[in-house]
Amino acid sequence: MAQRLNPQSGPILAVLATLFMPLPAGSAEQDSDSIRDLVPTVLELKATIQDMRSDVHDISEAARETIERSGDIKLRETKDNFVLSLASDILFAFDSFELSAEARDALNDVAKIVSTSSAGQITVLGHTDSKGTDSYNMELSQRRARSVADFLTAQGISKTRLVVEGRGEAEPIADNTRNGRDFPEGRAQNRRVEFVVPKSLLRN
């Protein structure tokens, strides 16, 4: 029976076909030029293979499916951790730390992801935009992170696994202002709650 190829293997097969294609007839100089032209292609091939390996091994299929189905959870990775992020605008009303009705579905998905393992520390981080004073934003971010952690505990995540921190406006991921003017799109990105999860918890 013929073996099925991964749909992502198409570019790789094309590169391999190019590598093993006979060099065009001509002078030795022309042949040398052709070989040099293939060097960037080989490097691109290596990078593509590495990307595919990362895509396959970095996060479990179950976690990936939950994130994709949710549509609200954003994922990024650091050296040792996966970071799941939810916009505060999904979780809370303006200037509030009480969870909204819409928050339940998104947080249930987070609980489902992190409950795949019964061990391992999860850090819940609250972030705000730059509106308001530093002290007020710090307190709001702490209360929001605590509200989220309490919800996860109610869903069966052990309280001893959760570390709760507020970061206020100190760690923006986008501009709060641009060219001296308010930048609402950036501020919306900065208002978020993040879940820092060790990679070992979510790998295959």
Mean pLDDT lowest for which of 6-10, 87-91, 97-101, 111-115? 6-10
Angle at CA of residue 93, ends 92 and 95, nearest 5°: 100
Tell the burial category of 48 from Cβ atoms under 10 Å away from its Cβ (0-12, 13-18, 19+). Answer: middle
pLDDT single digits (tens) 147-203: 999 999 999 999 999 999 999 999 999 999 999 999 999 999 999 999 999 988 887
- Rounded mean pLDDT of 53-74? 78
Tell me the CATH number of domain 61-202, given options 3.30.2130.10, 3.40.50.300, 3.30.1370.10, 3.30.1330.60.
3.30.1330.60
How far is the C-alpha of 195 from the C-alpha of 102, rounded, in Å?
18
pLDDT single digits (tens) 64-104: 999 999 999 999 989 889 999 999 999 999 899 999 988 99
pLDDT score, position 37: 52
